[in-house]
Structure formats: structure tokens, C-alpha cells
A and B are shown apart, each in its own frame.
Chain A
């Protein structure tokens, strides 16, 4: 079994009919077993029987992290605790952690989706998989672990920390696949240089990185420093953990969502209206098959877009673009939702422009104005005015095309953009609203 071909390459109508059946059962079940879901649905005037098509999803109320906190720790579980065989919890950077639970079937489901995700990255039986995600309450380590075993590859449960020892293990055991956060992958690359092990001494072929935001330039750095292909994996503990979506080896654009289990939507984070494929907005998931802790229309706060175009690998599963940011970072400029990370995408797309930029928003009269400050590096500098003016026009028109907002572009000297603790301050909003 390389991948579950029947499901992953189903014609869309076939997949959608599976999704609808599962959705109807799931909605029925949460309505019957979880009081907070029932009262929310009653308040919204929607009954399980109202879900007749996937489009009817829009009638169901959203859920957010607040709902999880309000029902801390186990209030949204649908089964008695005797049936829950594992719990995980998110660290909860602000306030209470969020707790998730799994039945035996959920653990099997998780192993199955995770093994399918690994297969998308070309991992097979015979691979030595170096799992450097943290083991513990965090879903990364154990979630990946069970998936690797289900796939039949060999798991090295090394967890995080002690980079030097990790490198010795990688070299001696012949690790061929690395699972870690992207920043830990860079950390390992540095440690390799410290202990004097070169990438050629390792058998590493592919790195699977997630659990934190990372940019295309970071991907390039990981690939170069470790001599591997680095792919993106997406997951969040509320939905199941790692294994919600995964980049295949045939595209650099987007991760296939395991849609037969996780139903995605993109919604406008401001109006909460569902958006069509291709539009940028907040990613919302409904778990279709999870038992202990299902979620209906869970707002992830992650900004992405769904790509419906067929993928070269043959999978018909929709792709989600690399997460571009968080809804908390969203700016509304002249009624248009703008995410600073979109601007970074535009700038990275213009050759030679390092993403040292700042977005400044002002209000002149009743009108919002957006200025983009770009530091002039030696790559883009020219001794001719014409060339630099051409660059500002190009940035301006690309921003207009992609963000839908007219901006003023100002070229500035290097290091003139405010940095705090080495990190550039990306947004300055001078509007007094």
C-alpha cells in the first residue's frame, strides 16, 4: 500500500458523497451526545436533518478555541471517559490549555491519515524515520510515531533536544527521513557543522516539517543545508494532530487535505461568509469521522486558500496553500482583508527582493492608505533611476494584482526598518479607529 488510491483519486462527486454521509452522521451524533453543540444548534435554528448537502454546512454554527476553553477539560467529548484511551493537550500560550481525547478507533484513524501523509512524501517501508517531534502532551511526536509504524517504516523515537546526539544517531542508524519543526531542522544543520558531520555522510533524503509557520526562504535554507527535499505538513491538535494535510512530491504549491476525514472550508474571517476555492481566508475544519472529540466548523485562525486544480500526482484531494498567517494579523484596508504575509509572497516573487519590508497604514481624511517600505539590498540596487523606478512600479502592480489594494512603494536604506529583538516589525498601523 503506497497510498489509499481508491479514496485519494476518487472523482470529486464520489468523494463528496462519502463526505456528506459522514457529515450527516457526525452532526447527528454531536447533536445527540454533546449539550453545548445541541444548544448552539438550537439557538441557530438548525437541526441535523437540515444537512442535506455539503453546502448546508454553512447553516451550522462555528466553533473556536473559546468553546474548547469554556468546556475545559472534557466537556466536548462525545463518549464516556472509559472509551477514551488517550488525551493530548496544547500548551496554551494564553490561558488554559485545550484538551483533546481519542478512542481506540481515533488512534487507528490518526495512524492511518498520518501514514497516508508520509506516503505522499515518498516515505515507504524500509525507511529509517527520525522522529524529532516532541513526545508528550504535544500531538507531534506520538501522532507521527503511530503513523510511521502503520506505514511499516522504522521509527526512531528520538524526540527533541540534544542535537549532537541526534546527529550521531542519524549517521550511525542511517536515518533517511527527518520529522521535525523547520526551526529544529535548521538547528540540526548548525549542530552538524559544529560536530563536523557533513550532509554527505548522512542518508537523509526528505524532511517533513510542520507545527510552526515557515517561509519559502526557510524551506530553501533547510534543503540547502541538509541536502534534502523539505516538505510541509499541516495539522493541529484540535483536529487530530499531524496528518490533516500534506505536500506531495509533485507540487510545491499546497498540501493535500485528507478530505475523506477532514472537511475544509475557507471563510471570510470578518463576515464569516464561506468563500469559493482560490480565495484567501480563514481555514475552517469539520472532522467527519473522529469519535471522542469531533469538531464542527472549527475556526483555525490560520490563513490559507484552497487549490482545486488537479495535482500531477493524480490525487483529487483538494490542496491548501502553505499557511500565510493568522487571522489575528489581518488588516482591513479600504474594506479589503490584507495579510502581511501575502505581501511577503509578492516580494519574494520579485527576483532579488529580500523580504525586508514594512507595511504602513495611515488614514488620510476618510481614506486608508497603504505604504510598502522595501529595503534596497545590493541585489536590487542600480545606479540608474529608471531601473529603481521600474522596480517600485512592479511591486506596486503585483501588490495591486494579488492583494487588491493600491499602495505606495517607498525604497529605503538597509536596516532602516524597525527591528525589535532582531525581528523586523512588519506592520505599522497609524489609523486611529
Chain B
């Protein structure tokens, strides 16, 4: 159960993030989740959107460097220990987290954790074995 994520290269200069959201809005693409990782010199914007290919194409047309990666979306109850339980499982299985971010769904009951692990296939089977709820791209967009 993998979810497609798009990643955009950002120089650390003002207005770039606004430009991206403007392009996506113009193309009627909804952002479900977003995170920015940055260093002193550059940043990487990661996005979960409803129309992945359309988002990639419109951003490329807008002059951005865009990549597509698979991530895992884990739905956990939005209460203490939700994240810790996933991380403990990953740790036990010696999986490394390359990065993660989270968002809370509209009802506010559950949180969705987005993970990129070093070994994705193994991560999926370990998490499923432990009974975690993994969401598909469509399920995220339907939230």
C-alpha cells in the first residue's frame, strides 16, 4: 500500500511556495498534505495531492524540478502514543525513517502519518502484520 508523493526543489527565496500553490490552484489540484524540509541553501517541498500526474506536469511547466516518490500513509488515532507505536515497530524491524510528516483528518479523530523508510516493502509488511491501517492515495483524498 503505497501513496504517490510529489517533491519539488526549492531555492530559499521568497515567493516560491506561493508560486507553487498558485499553480496548483489554477489547475484545480487539491493539496492534502504538505511539508517543507530545508537547509540553509535549499528546500524540498513534499506534497500529497489528489491529481499527482497533473500536479507534476503543471509544476514542471512552471519551471520547477519535480520528482515523484512513494511513501506510506499510516492512520492512527489522534492521541498520545500514536506516532510512538509506529516508530517502535519500525525500530524493532530495524527500519530507518528517511523523513516523516503528519496531518489530522477533517473529523479530527485520526492523524495520518506519512513515512518514507529506507526499505519500503519490508516496512509495509511489518506495519500490516502489526495491524496498522495503511491508506491508499484515493483514501487520503477521500478523507
Contacts and interface: CB of A to CB of B under 8 A. Distances in A.
B63 A411 contact: no
A386 B37 CA distance: 11
Nearest to B60: A378
Contacts of B126: none
B99 interface: yes
Given A376-B65, A378-B65, A378-B67, A413 B39 contact: no
Given A383-B116, A412-B11, A377 B67 contact: no
A389 B44 CA distance: 12
A376 B9 contact: yes
B65 A414 contact: yes
B42 A388 contact: yes
B91 interface: no
**Interface bin, chain A:** 10 to 19
B65 A383 contact: no
Given A381-B9, A383-B7, A385-B39, A413 B65 contact: yes
A411 B66 contact: no
Contacts of B9: 376, 381, 411, 413
Interface in B42-81: 42, 44, 46, 63-67, 69
Interface in A398-416: 410-416
B44 A414 contact: no
**Interface bin, chain B:** 20 to 34
B65 A389 contact: no
Q: Which of A378, A383, A411 has the most chain B CB atoms closer than 10 A to its own CB?
A: A383
A414 B67 CA distance: 13
Nearest to A414: B65
Nearest to B38: A385
B52 to A, nearest CB: 14
B33 interface: no
A414 B64 contact: yes
A384 B65 contact: no
B46 A413 contact: no
Is chain B's binding surface mostly helix, strand, loop or mixed?
strand
A381 B56 CA distance: 14
B41 A411 contact: yes
B139 interface: no
Contacts of B44: 383-385, 388
Contact of B63 (A382, A392, A414): A414
Contacts of B46: 383
Contacts of B26: none
Nearest to B66: A378
Given A410-B41, A411-B41, A382 B67 contact: yes
Nearest to A386: B98
Given A383-B67, A384-B99, A411 B7 contact: no
Contacts of A386: 98
Given A383-B44, A385-B37, A385-B39, A413 B10 contact: yes
A376 B41 CA distance: 13
Nearest to A411: B42
A378 B67 CA distance: 7
Interface in A363-404: 376-378, 381-386, 388-389, 392
Q: Which of B5, B16, B46, B67 has the most chain A CB atoms closer than 10 A to its own CB?
A: B67
Nearest to A373: B11
Contacts of B16: 413
A413 B64 contact: yes
A230 B16 CA distance: 43
A388 B44 CA distance: 10
11 contacts: A376-B65, A381-B7, A383-B5, A383-B99, A385-B39, A388-B44, A389-B39, A411-B42, A413-B10, A413-B64, A416-B11
Given A381-B7, A388-B42, A411-B41, 10 more contacts: A376-B9, A378-B65, A384-B98, A384-B99, A385-B37, A385-B99, A386-B98, A413-B9, A414-B65, A415-B63
Interface of A: 376-378, 381-386, 388-389, 392, 410-416
- Closest 7 A/B residue pairs (Cβ): A383-B7, A376-B9, A383-B69, A381-B65, A376-B65, A381-B67, A413-B11
